[in-house]
Amino acid sequence: MKPVIVTGGYARKCLGVVTSLGRRGVPVVVGNTDRLGPPLWSRYAWKRFVYPDPGRDPEAFLERVAAEAKTHDAELVFPTGGADTKVLARERARLRVPVVAPPLEKIELAEDKGGLIRAAMEAGVPVPRTYFDAAERGVPPNAVFPLLVRPNTGSGGHGIVKVTRREDLARAIGQVSVRHGRVLVQEYVESAALGFGCSAVMDRESRPVAFLCHRRLREYPVSGGAATFVESIEEPVLQAQAETLLRALAWESVAMTEWRLDARDGLFKLIEINPRMWGSSFLALDAGVDIPWLLRLAHLGLPPGPLPKVLPGVRRRWLIPADLLHFLRNPERFHLHPSFFRFFERGTRYDFLDPKDPLPALFNVLSLARLALTGQAKAQIDRA
């Protein structure tokens, strides 16, 4: 097999890709902005290289990746981060190597929260009640608070303000719009659970190659952020909704659809789509759904075989630093379910902690120490 170039080598999701392909005998060339990225030191990494920051110098980044792809006669370039995925998706024609990413217009649709919600509504997929023109007209008298004021572009919980009183809404809209531009106002979906995800691989004809549903057990920050503890689940309704949405969007490649389970009507409501590998994606390998390998087959036009069956009840935990920080910041730290102290529970795996592949754990600690000294640790958690 020819080599695969993997970028975004700072994060746990990249390590999942490297592990998946490396286990199957694919020579994996891993890139990052420095040499401290844990995936670069995995036993499954064949070679490693350093490139310029794609967010700051996309042209130099592209040239470096293209040079590596040419040197190694790579069959694919597989981005795993945010900035690298967007640059490579936009410039894929210049690489002359297939890029494992959705088309740029699909990525931009996923980033446009208003456009995505409208498309989901047209497809009959449940969404939170959304007020598209609230910045100009406010919300109707029957709007139920609390409401969320969120940037129209972005992902996760960045920039979102929760408003509990009507008299505070205009000020919140002004604050978010000054920082982030266009805003979207949505109802807050009351739920007895944290978020749910349904990840998918879709082929070139928007046919499903794989699905994996999971639920969040914990996240950091405690009020909402990156998942620190997740569990694979069987959820046919959620999977069907994700498939309906992605087919309606004529989606290709990878997507992680995010949802909340509405306690009022029992419906899964779409929150957003992550159009790239997601933070807890290593869970897919644990649960028997080898998403990186299936993405390789899909982008090379090779037959993937039948939909893989998901093993439910498998858990993956991002202990250091994220779940530890959750414990330290949560006032209910000694009453968590599952308990923070159940370290050796059967069926639970740990990000970066693998006795068969020990070096990523060491470089995770070294990388975190450097980031803590430079005040960038929170930013690393947000994008990992």
**β-pairing verdict for 196-202 and 253-261:** antiparallel
Report the top-level CATH class of 129-187: alpha beta
pLDDT above 60 for 380: no
- Give the H or E element holding residue 212: strand 208-220
Residue 50 pLDDT exceeds 60 = yes
Alpha-carbon distance 383 to 115, whole Å? Answer: 23
Residue owning tokens 């944290």: 194
Retrieve residue 142's tokens: 């029957």
Domain extents in the chain: 4-101, 129-187, 196-353
How confident is the model over 99-152, as pLDDT tens digits? 999 999 999 999 999 999 999 999 999 999 999 988 888 899 899 999 999 998
pLDDT exceeds cutoff 90 at 223: no
Do the domains 196-353 and 4-101 match in fold? no
pLDDT attached to residue 29: 98
Write down the architecture of domain 196-353 according to CATH: 2-Layer Sandwich (3.30)
Q: How far apart are alpha carbons 59 and 348 in whole angstroms?
A: 41
- How many angstroms separate the CA atoms of 271 and 189, rounded? 10
Predicted model pTM: 0.93
Alpha carbon of residue 115 to chain centroid: 19
* 20 vs 145: CA distance, rounded Å: 45
Q: How confident is the model at residue 378 (pLDDT cuts 50, 70, 90)?
A: low
4-101 — its CATH code? 3.40.50.20
Q: How far is CA 79 from CA 9, 88, 109, in A?
A: 9, 7, 19
